[in-house]
Amino acid sequence: MMARPTSELRRAAASLFIKAVSSSLEKACRLLLVFVAAPVLGVTSFGTFQFASTVASLLTLCTEFGLGTWTTRALARDIERARSIVTAGFRFRTAAIVPYVLLLGSFAFAQAPGDSRRVCILLGLAALAGSFVDYVGAILRGYEDFRREAAANALRGVLTLTAGLWALHLLGSLVGFAAGLAIGATASAGLGLLLLRRQPRVVPGDTTPPSTFDSTTARIAIGEAIPMWLAAVLSTLYFRSDVILVRYFCGNSEVGAYAAAYRVFEASTLLPSTIMAVAFPRLARDHSTLPSHPQPRWTRLEGRLVGLLVGLGVLAGVIMYVASDRATDWVFGIGFARSAFSLRVLALDVPVLFLNFALAPFLIARGKERRYLVFAALLLVLNVGINLVTVPRMGGAGAAWATLATDVVRAIGCVAVLGVPRAPRPSLF
């Protein structure tokens, strides 16, 4: 009787280890890329790069439509309809390339002629390729095939790092660096699709012919994924709009200084994102909308995830705060000295950010994406309002304070929607 629980525990631990290793490798590649490129490009060119890549990331949301999270949840809940779920997702994402290209072209045309336009286009292509790797990963997580997802992530990190640094060394310019990133991202997208094709997608009970478009599944996908997408768009806007506002009020140099601090802060998200990526399929099953499944308020898994992430967040925040001055000087150089204060403010946000990494997936797993959408809209208004007050006066540090304040309100709102935890039902975890 104890064999099955022990087996599932070992499987969960192995999945977490695999995901942690691959995510760590990819994150390390991204950080190394930034750490090497920032001093070579200089604070102003690095600010230009950060601004263009931020806009490109925002534009890729036009291709996502919430289908990544929806696909993972749908596969976790109903694996027998895997083919129709994946086919519907890919059809919608492929069709969305057209509006993305139009938006990217409009943004590039709005820039000054020359290198600025080329950088925007190249980073836009890199972001598009990266979004397809993300969707492949979402499908593989739905299958709980963390080994292939790990391979896709590791390949993306290594290829992007290698191509970006090679181009930077060979050409020594921002345009060359952007071209290298585009080449590496495109190659990783191709290899990711190849890994997905090798995934054994035939499951018991799935009689859907390959590549058949199921209109019923498509309607469900749009109805459930669009609220997730809109919430993700609004959340991304309040995370990324600060870069645009800092550039508008303070210029590229201040963007470069703030972006350096934010990159270090962002690196801390590796832990919570890895843990929640592995846990989300199980959470989706625990809160399945199928009539045969119970609807618990809180599970033991959720309680333990909250305790684990808050504890890790406190530890990471303390380390980041204490090491802020040395970290910015050692990693980026003396030209980024003013990044240290922004990093100290962001360090105060790390425990709250880790908590939010747990609470938001809890809402999605329970099917409360529409409530989360309304809340995300209110958070965006709050964040932009705080930024408009603090950024003109404090620059990047003002954006850091706005991020902290918004994350605190986000955590309070999520807990209010989820309710106060009650006694959990027994769980394997």
Contact criterion met (CB below 8 Å) for 68 and 138: yes
Where does the pLDDT of residue 418 fall: very low under 50, low under 70, confident under 90, or very high at 90 and above?
Answer: confident
Is the sign of the CA dihedral 367, 371, 375, 380 positive or negative? positive
Q: pTM for the complete prediction?
A: 0.64
Where does the pLDDT of residue 206 fall: very low under 50, low under 70, confident under 90, or very high at 90 and above?
Answer: very low
Output the pLDDT for position 143: 84
Give me the amino acid identity at 130. Answer: G
In 3D space, the residue among 181, 170, 73 whose CA is nearest the CA of residue 127 turns out to be 181
Output the pLDDT for position 221: 74
Average pLDDT on 27-48 reads 79
Average pLDDT on 197-204 reads 59
Whole-Å CA distances, 302 to 206, 222, 360, 392: 31, 28, 12, 40
Average pLDDT on 164-175 reads 86
* Residue of higher predicted confidence among 38 and 201: 38
Output the pLDDT for position 201: 56
Output the pLDDT for position 11: 64
- Residues near 205 by beta carbon (within 8 Å), at least 6 away in sequence: 80
- Residues near 406 by beta carbon (within 8 Å), at least 6 away in sequence: 238, 379, 382, 383, 386
Average pLDDT over the chain reads: 79
Report the share of the chain in percent with pLDDT over 90. 8
| Strand, helix or coil for residue 295 | coil
| Strand, helix or coil for residue 323 | coil
Average pLDDT on 20-49 reads 78
Least confident among 88-92, 146-150, 225-229, 391-395? 225-229
Output the pLDDT for position 353: 92
> Could you give the CA distance from residue 256 to residue 12 in angstroms, rounded to a whole number?
40
Whole-Å CA distances, 273 to 50, 268, 270, 354, 361: 22, 9, 5, 9, 10
Output the pLDDT for position 355: 93
Contact criterion met (CB below 8 Å) for 174 and 41: yes
Domain boundaries, the chain: 21-213, 240-429
Question: Is residue 428 predicted with pLDDT exceeding 60?
Answer: no
Average pLDDT on 135-150 reads 84
- Residues near 416 by beta carbon (within 8 Å), at least 6 away in sequence: none
Instruction: State the first-to-last Cα distance of the chain, in angstroms, to the nearest integer.
Output: 16
Where does the pLDDT of residue 3 fall: very low under 50, low under 70, confident under 90, or very high at 90 and above?
Answer: very low
Phi then psi for 65, rounded to 5 degrees?
55, 25
DSSP code of residue 359: H
Average pLDDT on 175-190 reads 89
Where does the pLDDT of residue 1 fall: very low under 50, low under 70, confident under 90, or very high at 90 and above?
Answer: very low
In 3D space, the residue among 61, 121, 53, 65 whose CA is nearest the CA of residue 262 turns out to be 53
Where does the pLDDT of residue 325 fall: very low under 50, low under 70, confident under 90, or very high at 90 and above?
Answer: confident
> Could you give the CA distance from residue 232 to residue 230 in angstroms, rounded to a whole number?
5
- Residues near 7 by beta carbon (within 8 Å), at least 6 away in sequence: none
Question: Is residue 406 predicted with pLDDT exceeding 70?
Answer: yes
> Could you give the CA distance from residue 11 to residue 13 in angstroms, rounded to a whole number?
5
